[in-house]
Amino acid sequence: MKNASKPLFAVLFAFMSSAYAADDALVARGAYLARAGDCIACHSAPRGKPLAGGLPMMTPLGAIYTTNITPDPDTGIGRYTEEEFARALREGVAKDGHNLYPAMPYPSYAKINDEDMHALYAYFMHGVAPVKQANREADIKWPLNMRWPLKLWNAVFLEKGVYRSKAGQDVAWNRGAYLIQGLGHCGSCHTPRGIAFQEKGLDESSSAYLTGGLLDNWFASNLTGEHNTGLGRWSEQDVATFLKTGANAHASAFGSMTSVINNSTQALSDADVAAMARYLKSLPAAGGSGGAPYSYDQKATKVSLTRPAATDSGARVYTAYCMHCHGADGRGFAPMLAPLAGNPNVLEKDPSSLINVTLNGTDDLVLNGVPAPYPMPRYSPVLNDQQVADVLTFIRGAWNNNTPAVQAEDVAKMRKATQAAR
Ligand code: HEC
Ligand code: HEC
Ligand code: HEC
């Protein structure tokens, strides 16, 4: 039977290599989905190994630390079965049965479908290098460190069930909704939270969904169709360009959004980014402060900049420290330099992001491995609280921006909060 052995071997070999090829494709698919879920942003410490955990996250109860999700069997998730992995992601329950804090965005990941969960599991088991690094205990003291109340929290706030396509909407809209609500967990920053730290809505059926929220000293913008503070004046293409490159004609990424662009959205396919833009642009206007629709006007501002009255400290700070980049007309040089005139973040009632970016500047936006050439400088060593309040009050009043003044006390608070975090 000499002849038969060769075909048998060939068949076996073909079978095995196709099995391997299928696995490679599955692992690659999982790697892509892990990007869409931005697991690396939370599960890596600043100078630590990727996915080995250790990043501190502030909760109202104290700091907790993200865990090692590399496949190391002793310190990571190497002993997780696929079922246990899916339960951690969708229900926030670890292998040993303890409940995870909702700083892990499982209320969003609950929507991940089985096929994607399978690919993610394959990636975490076979595509990630194991790292031996023990997890760090949370800084929360007894009795607040007891985790059983999280079961009650889940009973009230966790909506179980994977994403279901909505009838009457096309494939792209549903794909966008799936990515934004699920893996993208955009609402964990962009949706306001209630008193129990729960997001006030997990999809477009809630009028609070994606209307903007304050987290970690950054105000994540309104992403509904609101004209002034939201995406009302952006086209679908503008939204897609922002997610791919971190900047467009209206605004540029800063604060906690920088890491979303750096680690996640820039790596997504054009079709997926277009689908996300499609879904966002379908959200009707909500939130915002209901002022008149913004339209650009330079006249009054030109006068106060060319002949700053001795009393207008804000205009003086602006001409001395900001104007050479942001321009006398407030229009910047998009997309390298964000316009301040009509910028949705400038028009937002909550000034936290403006104060934070002026005090602390921006982290580098890194596109395809190349850091942005002109980051926004930090002014905390140069300007005092009153000067920061004055210049932001000036910007919020200039070019028809028409948004309320910024108070020195709020600058002082932000300075303290962000210095402590450094
Ligand atoms: C916004 C931050 C954040 C993101 C994004 C995030 N996680 Fe987590 N994750 C956490 C935190 C915090 C914990 C620990 C919570 C605790 O200890 O209660 C955690 C815990 C886990 C656990 C439990 C591990 C253990 O300790 O046994 C798994 C599994 C996990 N995450 C997987 C993932 C995957 C996969 C992704 C991406 C799809 C992801 N996480 C994205 C914050 C995050
Ligand atoms: C870790 C918190 C965080 C997450 C998660 C997050 N964002 Fe943001 N996002 C912000 C902050 C803060 C801003 C305001 C600063 C800026 O404009 O970059 C912002 C701004 C934006 C803007 C610009 C809006 C404007 O008016 O300037 C868009 C568009 C956006 N985010 C889309 C998304 C999408 C889509 C997702 C999910 C894939 C997402 N974000 C996830 C924090 C976050
Ligand atoms: C060296 C040039 C430069 C100077 C000077 C400068 N900025 Fe910026 N600023 C930037 C850039 C670039 C961005 C866009 C974010 C980024 O890419 O880092 C930005 C962003 C901002 C934003 C966020 C708007 C958005 O949507 O991105 C605010 C608010 C801001 N600057 C205020 C100021 C104030 C106030 C001053 C003066 C005290 C100032 N800037 C001085 C370069 C500058």
Domain that holds residue 392: 299-421
Cis peptide bond prior to 143, omega within 30° of 0: yes
CA 234 to chain centre: 19
Structure-block tokens of residue 158: 């966790």
Structure-block tokens of residue 255: 């604060």
Residue 267 lies in a domain: no
pLDDT of residue 305: 79
pLDDT of residue 3: 46
Residue 38 lies in a domain: yes
Structure-block tokens of residue 312: 């207008």
How far is Cα 175 from Cα 183, in angstroms, rounded to an integer?
11
Residues 255, 293, 173, CA angle at the centre, nearest 5°? 65
Residue 180 lies in a domain: no
Contact in structure between 383 and 317 (CB atoms under 8 Å): yes
Residue 225 lies in a domain: no
Which of 367, 376, 382, 406 gets mutated to test ligand 3 (max ligand atoms within 8 A of its CB)?
376
Ligand (nearest to CA of 227): 2
Dihedral of the alpha carbons of 102, 183, 174, 153, in degrees to the nearest 10: -10
Residue 192 lies in a domain: no
pLDDT of residue 302: 74
CA atoms within 13 A on the CB side of 416: 6
Structure-block tokens of residue 418: 């962000």
How far is Cα 107 from Cα 193, in angstroms, rounded to an integer?
13
Ligand (nearest to CA of 221): 2
Residue 96 lies in a domain: yes
| Domain CATH number, residue 310 | 1.10.760.10
Structure-block tokens of residue 75: 């310190």
How far is Cα 19 from Cα 27, in angstroms, rounded to an integer?
12
Check: pTM over 0.75? Answer yes or no.
yes
Q: Which amino acid is at 32?
A: Y
pLDDT of residue 304: 74
Sign of CA dihedral 34, 37, 41, 44: negative
Residue 128 lies in a domain: yes
Ligand 3: does its nearest atom lie under 6 Å from the Cβ of 36? no
Number of separate domains in the chain: 2
Ligand 3: does its nearest atom lie under 6 Å from the Cβ of 251? yes
Ligand (nearest to CA of 226): 2
Q: Residues with Cβ < 8 Å from 104, sequence gap 6 or more?
A: 42, 66, 88, 92
How far is Cα 161 from Cα 159, in angstroms, rounded to an integer?
7
Say which residue the tokens 């596109």 belong to. Answer: 367
Kindly list the averaged pLDDT for each block of 10 residues, start to end, along the chain of length 422.
54 58 89 98 95 91 94 97 98 96 96 98 97 94 85 91 96 98 98 94 97 96 97 97 95 95 97 98 92 85 70 90 92 86 96 98 91 89 98 95 96 93 54
User: Ligand 3 centroid to 208 CA: how many Å?
Assistant: 29
Which of 254, 326, 395, 401 gets mutated to test ligand 3 (max ligand atoms within 8 A of its CB)?
326
CA distances from 271 to 165, 173, 260 (A): 17, 11, 18
> Which of 179, 199, 163, 190 has its CA nearest to residue 278?
179
Residue 66 lies in a domain: yes
pLDDT of residue 136: 94
How far is Cα 286 from Cα 50, in angstroms, rounded to an integer?
38
How far is Cα 134 from Cα 185, in angstroms, rounded to an integer?
27
